[in-house]
Structure 1
Amino acid sequence: MVRGQLVRTAMEVRDGHRHGRLKDPVEAECERSCGGDGEEGEHARAVLLGEWGFSLEELYSLALRFFREKEGKAFHPLYEEKLRLVALHKQVLLGPYHPDSCPEVGFFDVLGNDRRKEWVSLGNMSKEDAMTEFVKLLNKCCSLFAPFVTSHKIEKEEQERKRCEEEQRRRLEEEEQERRRQEEERQRREEEQRLQREEEERRQAEEERERLEQQKQQIMVALNAQTAAALNKQQEVTAVAVSAEARRSAVPPGAGNGLTANGAPAESLDKEVELDSVGELMENSPRGPVFTVNLHSAPAATTPLITAPSMWTRPQIKDFKEKIRQDPDSVITVGRGEVVTVRVPTHQEGSYLFWEFATDHYDVGFGVYFEWSDSPSTAVSIHVSDSSDEDEECEGQSEEEKAQKLASKPQVDEVVPVYRRDCHEEVYAGSHQYPGRGIYLLKFDNSYSLWRSKSVYYRVYYTR
């Protein structure tokens, strides 16, 4: 009996909270911004996604993860806010409330009845509107949700940057491979053309050799024919001489000598004429071709403006921190979500900047930039900022004012990109040659850490 009275009293108190009060301002704002499926709801979602830098599904997934992990630990929402968040999650997961798709809730299940009524009150709200309202309500309930999303946004941008760099590297490799393939194809064609030319030259040389051989054979045949004719003539002359010897007694002395003396010179003259004709044929033979070679020179390379830094680590972290503790100005605290920038102007007597740093128990992000501005002072200064400083500075400014402010800033070049360093295990050190007159910006980045501050022990100095 007493238990029944307590249950009825709890239900009356619950109904009084549900029906005897004005609508909660958070719920009213969410209904105004996301209550319809028309152009206003689409515009509100577009503005929300533009502010956070994620798609609606990604942003809702981050919000749901944050709610499950941090609810009751990092933040404590009101009873009505938690009911609203649970109902919106069911609306996204299962759609509008339908008795057939949900189990019956007992009469004494106060929490279950409240959740069901809150779910029923959403009506036919679309999935996109429910996700948008969930994100907005969670952001109203907990101030830590915005830094949580910002850290994931930075991580996403870093992953996107690495992906773009990987695609660029892969594209350059493909272009280099294509260039090499074309170069190999060009060399192959040139080699084929060279072999074809050599083959054509060998063929022409062979044809010329065969032609000369044929000419030689023809000349030999002609010479043999002339030699045979000369022998026949010699035989005739000999026969005439024999006949003349037989008639010597009848012929006057010296008559036969004239015939014999005139035969030999005639034969000799014919042979000289034939040999001269052979020499003329040999002199008129064609000569070999002449080849030329062209040489080309390669272009010269250029050098970058800023040289690459030198970085190393050493294990003597305990001795290093003990020495740095003696100078309180060399120990800085980087708060959670903060970025501390140590500005070190270049010295007119120096040419290199050296830096060393370490932390106590946790890592910290570190990077080096060079600002091209001439500082009248050589003193080291420290600037502390967080992830929301830049957004607050840009609020209320027009695009023209933002452009003028950006143009008035000095040029800044990256020397060492900001990455998380395990400086709680080793001392991180490095050096860089001055590119000119300016200011070095040593950034200690703790924006990714929402819960811990970091103590940084650092030392900077210049050398000639």
Structure 2
Amino acid sequence: MTSKIETTFKVNPEKVPLETDQGILESEERKWGLPLKEVYKHGLSFYKDKEGKAMHLSYEDKLKLVAYTQQIAHGPLNVNSAPPLGVLDVIGRDRRGAWQALGQMSQFQAMAGFVHTLDRLCPLFKPYLEAILKDLEAKKQQDLKRQEEERAHIELQNRIELEKQKQQSTKLTEEQQVQRIKDALNAQTYDQFLEYAQQQFPGNFDQQAVLIRQLQDQHYQQYIQQLAVDKRLANSNIKNKEDSDKDNDNSLVEIDDNLNRDDAGDDVDNKSMQTLEKTQISHYNEESKDEEDSDDDGFPAVEEARMWTRGEISSFKESARMGNGRLRVGQGETITIRVPTHPRARCICWEFASDNYDLGFGLYFEWRKSLTSEVTIHVSDSDEEDVEYDGYGGDDEEFTIQENSTDPEIGGDQRAESHSRPPVSQVVPLYRRDCHTEVYAGSHTYPGEGVYLLKFDNSYSLWRSKTLYYKVYYTQ
């Protein structure tokens, strides 16, 4: 007779509040700081890793945890579809009984029961879960920091790219402005420079083009320098005007204060002070007008000369010598070349060089109609003509600076003997030039009818004579 062994084993499921699945999810997440599924996943891993090592559970507790895992994985037990158990499979029968005892418990309720049971049976589970939570927080912070760094890097790259584009655009705009200025200047001076280049290199078009380009570049640099000077002068004039206006306002305020100090009831005194005020203001206006009238010397402004240097000094000296453009400037002498303006020209050009040593050079314009159209040369000793220097020294020779020059041709004190000499305007200040190392050249547009004075000065040299090579010609 076969005997059937039956074991009755009751398992009390963990008491989980009967809530909806959504309520369970929210409640568990608030408790653990993680979604319920994540908590269950870590709990199951903890149980498999630590069971029998860090924790020792009873047989009944193990059945509970296994029943929860079966309920989560397969849902409620269906006895009809479950495979039959062997007669001696006591553990399998106990597990199936514990599973069946869970009834219709939902998947989320089973997860919550598993986590609660594991937390109750093993005190190490909660610290383990907190450590995982800290690691997740640290990883999250690292991810956020990395994302911030990547975002900042991208923004920096974008700013750099925008700045490069802005600089490129600004550079193009500046280059366009520079090119427009050069084109305008070249259009004004091309004919003049072409005529000069044809005289220097007749028949050699390549050399003419190179020389024209050099002259145009130097002309542009001089134009930019003149703009900077004009800007400084304009700013200085504006500042002076503001200071003058401020002084005028202060004087008027002082007059008003004096009026306010008098008795307001005295009509006679008030009228007297008002008359005094009007008289002072009228007197100030007349003085200002007289000062403005005194600044006008009666002559138009003289434009700045255009000057440059070039090489090929040997060929220039030979050319000047063949054209009788060679002079000897003795020690202590000053040579003045008087060049009258030509009625059919509008510009004067000059070039000069010397042998071995430097020479002083300056250009002036005499406001007097010449009786002859001939170019004349005048030689004077240092005793006859004082020279004021603005520049540098060249040789080791000594020279004397005359501080109170009365020669109107060099822009000195024109108050003395102004009645006996015609007025002279300075075009190029007189100072020493290294014309023994390169050719000095320049041009100037007529300010009116008169005589140009080209001064070549050797008065500072007491022992050495100089050889001067020069060319002077007119252009349209």
- TM bracket (short chain): 0.3 to 0.5
Q: Provide the TM-score with structure 1 as the length reference.
A: 0.40
Q: Provide the TM-score with structure 2 as the length reference.
A: 0.39
Greater helix fraction, Structure 1 or Structure 2 = 1
